[in-house]
Amino acid sequence: MKKLHQLNFENTYARLPDTFHSRLYPTPLPAPYLVSFNANAAQLIDLDSAEMSRADFAEHFCGNRLPPNAEPLAMLYAGHQFGHFVPQLGDGRSILLGEIRNSAGELWDVQLKGAGITPYSRQGDGRAVLRSSIREYLCSEAMHGLGIPTSRALCIVGSDEQVYRERIETAAVLTRLAPSHVRFGSFEVFFYRGQYDQIATLADYVIARHFPDLADAGDKYLRLLDEVTLRTARLMAQWQAVGFSHGVMNTDNMSILGLTFDYGPFGFMEAYDPGYICNHSDPRGRYAFDQQPQVGLWNLSRLAQALSPLIPRESAETVLDGYAPAFYEHYTRLMGAKLGLASVTREDIPLISELLEMMQASRLDYTNLFRSLGQFNSAAEADNSQLRDQFIDRATFDGWAAAYRIRLQQESGTDSERKARMDRINPKYILRNYLAQIAIEKAEKDRDYSEVDRLLNLLAKPFDEQPGMESYAAPPPEWAQHISVSCSS
């Protein structure tokens, strides 16, 4: 493990021409202090966790002091926001310090979110607030714990500097780590400007850094689109299987590597509702839970359009045609595993869909129902009353349970072995909005960050039974129904 001054910065994105970014320094943050530090994420860049005890640690991770060899910049991109093209977006409050190569040979972007005004701030203040920083910090690590590709969060640095949103809040800087922050909109900006050479330059950069096996292929750009399509399809399947809603699936929030990032008004679904909308700023439900797979394909079509100077249209359409089969194959396999099935066939699809319909009718907690399903007894005439009593329509459940029992009896192994498998894919703990809200209120009111750290540790192992933490798996209390998250979250 290394000290701060020993980190190996390489900064490959800074080597691209100036048309791809703007070089600038972070805006100093007054009197910064450390809110929370994630030792697990620190390992990604070989940072010694003992460094968090340095008196100047917060100064380094809010941008007041720059690590040696950092080359700070804001990335340029455009994007479709709620279906409408915005010709220039870019990092309006995030600054990429550079990239660190770890001992495993991996390059990790180190980005400060909330580091101040950039040329792309669009009259914004360039700051993040403590509330939204805590939400992203916890959710990115929760998604990692669930095995879903995501950006990571190293630490939060706070300040008493006032920031104006719907109310006056305090500023914070989140240090975000990711293999790349290149997004669909990074290509769109040059397509709409007619700068096709830059599209090729960026595509070559992405291939060289992330898909080197494609570099010598004659159809490398088409194969790049194919790789991004498959990664996005799998990501959407994982979101759907775990009940996660992103909330703002604009093309500028879509990772070229199929990562979950740019967390804002996200939400883990509680009472099962396919039309769940987590974003108060999305009244028409463009990014509702059940729309995410379709939006993923729509966004990919925008990426394909941006790559069209490099790829024949017919070939791109063929690649996009592979999205739906890839999504459904992965989603069906995940849902079958959530039911404890070692393999899934077409005949199992009604078993999955009928369960979801019953859950919707009874408004059952999505996470808790699947977790409790592991306790299903497949023996003939077995008593599954505890599970049965969760459903309003018991007769319909009885019919479904009979079919489920027959299907389970076709599997090898015991009920206890099946439960162990199911507990490895059906989490007990998710980042419920009310849990995040409790942590935020403690942090804002009393500078008490203990709940942030407690949730960070809890969500790192979401599938484990954690003695003394059972209350964190409880459905939301009544007051939580009034929590609202929007694009400012």
Give the pLDDT confidence of 176-196 residue by residue, as tens digits.
Answer: 999 999 999 999 999 999 999
Q: What is the pLDDT of residue 124?
A: 87
**Is residue 166 over pLDDT 90?**
no
Strands (DSSP E) found in 39-141: 73-75, 79-81, 84-86, 94-101, 107-113, 128-129
Domain count along the chain: 3
Q: Over the range 256-278, which residues count as b (16 or more CB within 10 Å of their CB) and which as e? A: bbbbbbbbbbbbbbbebbeebbb
**Is residue 251 over pLDDT 90?**
yes
Let me know if residue 34 belongs to a domain: yes
Q: What is d(CA 230, CA 238) in angstroms, rounded to the nearest whole number?
A: 12
More confident residue, 367 or 122: 367
Segment 357-375, tens digit of pLDDT: 999 999 999 999 999 999 9
Which neighbouring-strand residues pair with 245? Answer: 267
Q: What is the pLDDT of residue 183?
A: 98
Q: What is the pLDDT of residue 485?
A: 84
Let me know if residue 36 belongs to a domain: yes
Segment 287-341, tens digit of pLDDT: 999 999 999 999 999 999 999 999 999 999 999 999 999 999 999 999 999 999 9
Catalytic residue among 252, 262, 282, 365: 252
Both 304 and 410 in a single domain? no
Both 297 and 328 in a single domain? yes
Average pLDDT, stretch 269-277? 97
Both 87 and 158 in a single domain? yes
Q: Are 336 and 408 in contact (CB under 8 A)?
A: no
Q: What is d(CA 441, CA 30) in angstroms, rounded to the nearest whole number?
A: 22
Both 26 and 171 in a single domain? yes
Domain that residue 306 falls in: 194-251+276-333
Task: Report the range of poorest mean pLDDT among 7-11, 129-133, 208-212.
Answer: 7-11
Mean pLDDT of the chain: 96
Give, for 159, the enclosing helix (H) or strand (E): strand 152-164
161: confidence class by pLDDT, cuts 50, 70, 90: very high
Task: Report the range of poorest mean pLDDT among 47-51, 377-381, 437-441.
Answer: 377-381
Both 120 and 166 in a single domain? yes
* 252 in catalytic set: yes
**Is residue 489 over pLDDT 80?**
no
Looking at 126, 156, 184, the residue that finishes a domain is 184
Give, in degrees to the nearest 5, the angle at Cα 312 between 320 and 222: 55
483: confidence class by pLDDT, cuts 50, 70, 90: confident
Let me know if residue 247 belongs to a domain: yes
Q: Report the amino acid identity of residue 304.
A: A
Q: What is the pLDDT of residue 488?
A: 60
Both 296 and 210 in a single domain? yes
